Amino acid sequence: MAASQEYLDKMKVRQNYRNIWHTDLLSTITADAPYCCFSLFCGPCVSYLLRKRALYNDMSRYTCCAGYMPCSGKCGESKCPELCLCTEVFCCFGNSVASTRFLLQDEFNIQTTRCDNCIIGFMFCFQQLACICSIVACLVGNDELSDASQALNCLADLVYCTVCACMQTQHKVEMDKRDGKFGPQPMAVPPAQQMSRFDQPYPPNVGYGQPAYGGYPPGSQPPQAQGYTPATYPPPGTQPPQAQGYPPGAYPPPGYPAPGYQR
């Protein structure tokens, strides 16, 4: 009873998470179509790879069904986690997909959108309807009803496999985002008035009018503030003193400027 209450509490907490998936279930086929097909035809293998990746390839952290089921921690996972994970993904495929999903949601505070909830709910309701029709066809013994129930079961299985493939692709894309596999984003070119170079003098009074009190008389120069470098500094034929240790020998650091950056 305590375990069930704890599970319900976690479900309520997930409803208040602020982040969302990088891609929803409807967009997974366009986000990574090859991996979605791979998940459709090799679901258990993909579930094994995704769970191991979700654990950062550290199988010492593995717990059956990621700790979300009553059997978690009681299946000898610490002795042979790889075998236990194989057993989980082949014998309890649906639970393995859902457990990886809950694991990612709790780690990154990801909520499930209403659209995703509708798709998952439709999948479960379709399976329940197919199960009820099979029971009724078995009790009645009508051949036509049995054929209809079998067709409904096949359709429910197809919907189940499709949704699971989309869910696993969604998990993979989210972990790609976590691991930084999308690559650097292209840098937007700033507006012209924001572009400048440090080795060019800044033009005075850019975008501003002359001061209200007027300028200096024509042909004259403003008085030099005491302590400032004179106009003839450094003397002709000499170089200004170099600050010790500047710029450092490894400047700029490797990777700068960023690719695609335009000065």
pLDDT in tens, 17-29: 888 899 999 999 9
pLDDT at residue 98, as a whole number: 92
Q: Look at residue 97 and tell me if it is in a domain.
A: yes
Task: Report CA torsion sign: 96, 102, 106, 109.
Answer: positive
Q: Look at residue 117 and tell me if it is in a domain.
A: yes
pLDDT at residue 216, as a whole number: 54
Q: Residues, the chain, total?
A: 263
pTM over 0.85? The answer is no
**175, 104 Cβ separation under 8 angstroms:** yes
CB atoms within 10 A of CB 240: 8
Q: Look at residue 130 and tell me if it is in a domain.
A: yes
Which DSSP symbol is given to 66? Answer: G
pLDDT at residue 83, as a whole number: 92
Spell out, as residue ranges, where the chain has pLDDT lower than 70: 1-8, 183-263
Q: Look at residue 110 and tell me if it is in a domain.
A: yes
Q: Look at residue 261 and tell me if it is in a domain.
A: no
| Alpha-carbon dihedral 157, 163, 166, 167, rounded to 10 degrees | -120
pLDDT at residue 14, as a whole number: 75
Which DSSP symbol is given to 241? Answer: P
Question: How many domains would you assign to the chain?
Answer: 1
Instruction: Domain of residue 131: give its range.
Output: 2-178
Q: Look at residue 119 and tell me if it is in a domain.
A: yes
Q: Look at residue 213 and tell me if it is in a domain.
A: no
Which DSSP symbol is given to 141? Answer: -
Q: Look at residue 10 and tell me if it is in a domain.
A: yes
Token pair 């359709």 is at which residue? 155
